[in-house]
Structure formats: C-alpha cells, structure tokens
Amino acid sequence: MQTLGQKVIYQIYPKSFYDSNNDGIGDLRGIIAKIPYIAKLNIDMIWFNPFFVSPQNDNGYDIADYYQIDPRFGTMADFEELVAKLKEINVGVMLDMVLNHCSTEHEWFKKALAGDKYYQDFFYLRPAKADGSLPNNWSSKFGGPAWEKFGDTNLYYLHLYDKTQADLDWHNENVRKEASKIINFWRSKGVAGFRFDVINVTGKDTVLVDSTDINEEKALYTDTPVVHDYLKELNRTSFGQDEDAITVGEMSSATIPNSIEYSNPAEHELSMVFTFHHLKVDYKDGEKWSDYPFDFMKLKQLFTDWQEKMDQGGGWNALFWNNHDQPWALNRFGDPVNFRVESAQMLASALHLMRGTPYIYQGEELGMMDPSYTDISEYVDVEALNAYQALIEAGKSPAEAFHLISLKARDNSRVPMHWNADKYAGFSTVTPWLKPTDQAEINVEKELASGQIFTYYQQLIKLRKEMPLISAGHFQTVFKDHPQVFAYRRYLDNQAKELLVINNFYGQETELDLGTYADKACRLVISNYDQDLTKLPAKLTLRPYETIAWEI
C-alpha cells in the first residue's frame, strides 16, 4: 500500500473539465469520457469541487442538498459509474465537504425561516444592537457586512461569505451529527477522500463580539481551539473508521502549531492541511487586488518555515501552486511569455520534490495561464465582480480596476480545460459558461503530441512513487540567502544519500556557490535543461528558470 507521501492528487473543477451534453457546462459524464487522459498522469486520487444541488451563487460552494447530484452535472448513476471506472485505474475519489455554511435554499434554512426552532438553532441568529445597528461589525469575505436580515423577524443571520451562504453553528451537536451523516453517506458510495472547505472558521465563539481591525477580526473566528475538538469528533464518527481515508482541511490563516495538530496522525483529526500564506506574497500590504511583484525571499522563508517545522512536529502539508480560487501560478511566479515551458517545469519541481502530498490542478500539467480577457463582462465570479465595483468606488478608473481583477480573479483558473485548438477549446460545441482563450497555443492535443510539460509531470509523479527520499525524507533549506535560488535537501536518517534540489526562480542566469557540495559525486534525478555532470562544481551557473535535482 502506498504511503501518503507517495500519492499525488489531481483536482478537477467539474464545471470546466469537459462538457459531454453540449450545454456549455462540464459534467460527470464528461469526466468519465476523459478517464483515459487522467490515467496517463498516474495520479492516485481526484479531488472534485462540489457538484451537489446548488443555486450556484458561489459556484457550488452554496449547497442546497448534500445528498444529491445537481442535474446540471448529471445523476447519482453517473457518479457511481465514475467512482467504479476510476477504481479500475486505481484512482480514488475525494469530495468537497462545505460544512461551515449551507445555501439559504437548503431545507434547514427554509425550515428555520418558517419558524422551526430546531433548525433556527443550526444558524447564528442574533438581534440588532440596542441602537438598531447590526449584531456586530464583522465583514463578509466577499465584501459588505457579514449579517443579513433573517426573513421578516427582528433577527439577523451570520454569513462570512455570500449572503446566500448562511454559517452553520457547530456549537450545536445536531449540526455536527448532520456533518457526520453526510460524510458517511458518501463513504457508502465508495468515497475515501474528503476535502473540508474553510473548516477552521467553524470555531466561532457563542458570543460574537465586535472587532477592532481586520486581522483581529479574523482571529475571532479562525483557527480557534474548539476546531480541534470538532475535527476529532468528526474523525471518530465518520472517515476515521476507514484505514485508507485521505482528508485535507482548507485552513484559512492557520498557524504552524495548529496545522501540526490538525495533521499529525497521533491527533486523529485530518491527513493534511491546505494553507495559503505562500500565495499571498504578491499582495501589496496584504491587499489581494494589487499589482505587485512577488516577494521571493518571503516565499522562500514561508516554504522553509512550513516545511521544516511541520516535519519536526509530525504534521503533513498539502503541496499546491494552483486551485480554483487562485489565478495561475505561472503568471504569478513564472514567465508565461518568454519561458512558459521552463518556468512551468521549475515550479513543478520546486513543489513536487518537497515534503507533503502534491496537488495538480486541471490544466497545470499543460502550462495553462491566465485568460486574455479584455472586459469585466467576461468575468462571472461574484468575488471579482464585487471587487471591481469596490475598486471603482475607491477611485480607480475602469481600466485600473479591470487590470487588478485580471491579475487576481478566481475565474482565471476556472476557464474551461483546453482539449484542442477549436473555438471552444474542445470543451464544448456551444458557448461555454466561461470563455477560453489561448487554446491555439496551449491544449491537450498539442501537449501530448509535442509538449514538454505533461511528460515532466509524469516524471515527477513516477519519482515520488519510487524514491523514499522524496516521499518520506526530511526537509532542510540550503543556500537560503541567495536572492534568486530556492534550494533544499531531502534526507533520511538511515540513508547516506540525499537529494539536492536547486531552483532558479527568475528569467536571468545566476551563479550559485555550492560550498561543501563541491566535488561531490552526483546522479541526475531530474532537470529541465540538459545536464551531464557526474561531479558537482564549486560554482554552478543556472540558466533562466532552471531546476535540477541530484542524488548525492
């Protein structure tokens, strides 16, 4: 049986993967049709973004029925067939559990609105303050206040996200029982993987006090001690009963000590954590909607801290550059214009050779990049459209506001998968829900015929399965003061050999003094340029976006 460190997980955003019935939206049968493609990568599990019944106000993260497949994606029979066919190629299924909040279209919320006290206790319902103002001053992560009027009562309900996503009160034992029941239902369908959306914001207090600033506000409901209690209970009553379960928590603003506890097997909580600190190094003063070059030294420090301390504490990282909530990493940390292939390969190596479980987001293995949109009307995501309006109101010109949206919008990575160079990228024969661009240059057909990125990912996945240094080794950063190079060593306590990984994060050549590694015999493991060294030099010249891993 493979260890957690040998596994690689592929993320599919169903709405954008492949449209089998030509309605402009990807679906489950579309995924079934592309299983031969998935098999080529040799990944171990697929994380599917939600395809449950939903009004789609937040692209499926507003769930109205946790037990039913939304008809726009297919049927339960389609899902069961998908699970069975993936099992034939030894690929497991990971479902997205959105349990911090539910849609206001969910029967729990509807019953609460109708006056059912039992279901009213599922939500954070609070009266206005004595002066008539909102229950507290918290902000929604999608803009505006985090409170909305609860029907025609004198109460308000809390929504940390969209107003159609009502936060569930996890202090209520009945809410936690429903969460277990949902997971157990999908376990009975053969699902062994679960990804828990924003799970560490479930730890809100019973008394929801005002905040003094945005950072302190986050701390009032994020990563609080009670989250560990909730996860231990959930583990015990559901997925923890499966020896082969793989679970990951999306942890907003999590600390390393908390993340160790979330993911250390001895704690019986989760298998691993998604954390996002490394994807905020191009936020100017913490502001997402900004045009700011990424802070490489900060990126390196964050990787170092999380890798080394999680290793020392027995925690486990989910490794990722891309997902459905992020613009493409290639645009942020690489050069899609001048060195698309080299920078895509370098970013892949830098991540996949670290300690943890790597995730590949659909299209990443093709070197997909942000779409070439020219107008705000081409975006559909609620967060981007709200942010555009807020930027205009803050004094930005339409052109300035659009530029900032184009850099950071979640829709950037949600564009349909490029299967070929056709008008709709081979995704559909009709206009897709979101417009593809650049498919003439970047698509599956072309990549499989003559590309160098897909095959590079295949190599990295194969190495992870074959080399214990990669799947189980410790991590230590080396040459940490170099302004262009992120390098680290992977080593095992009982093995003389180590893996030295060197990554040039820029499009300019640079020189690296190898210090104590000079004159050591080396065996090339993987590189994105020709390499024929058998002994390490004293000084190494790295080409643009060059990545090299040697066993020494």
Residues with a catalytic annotation lie at 197, 250
DSSP state of 24: S
User: Taking the CB of residue 149, how many other CB atoms lie within 10 A of it?
Assistant: 13
- Distance separating alpha carbons of residues 502 and 478, to the nearest angstrom: 9
Please give the single-letter amino acid code of residue 124: Y
Closest Cα to residue 48, out of 64, 69, 33, 65?
69
E-strand ranges in 381-428 read none
- Distance separating alpha carbons of residues 520 and 504, to the nearest angstrom: 21
Crossing angle of helices 226-237 and 256-263, in 10° steps, is: 10
Please give the single-letter amino acid code of residue 336: P
Q: Which run of H or of E encompasses 14?
A: none
Q: Are strands 485-491 and 498-504 parallel, antiparallel or unpaired?
A: antiparallel
E-strand ranges in 315-451 read 318-319, 357-361
- Distance separating alpha carbons of residues 391 and 398, to the nearest angstrom: 9
Please give the single-letter amino acid code of residue 541: T
Ordered strands of the 547-551 beta sheet: 474-478, 485-491, 498-504, 547-551, 523-527
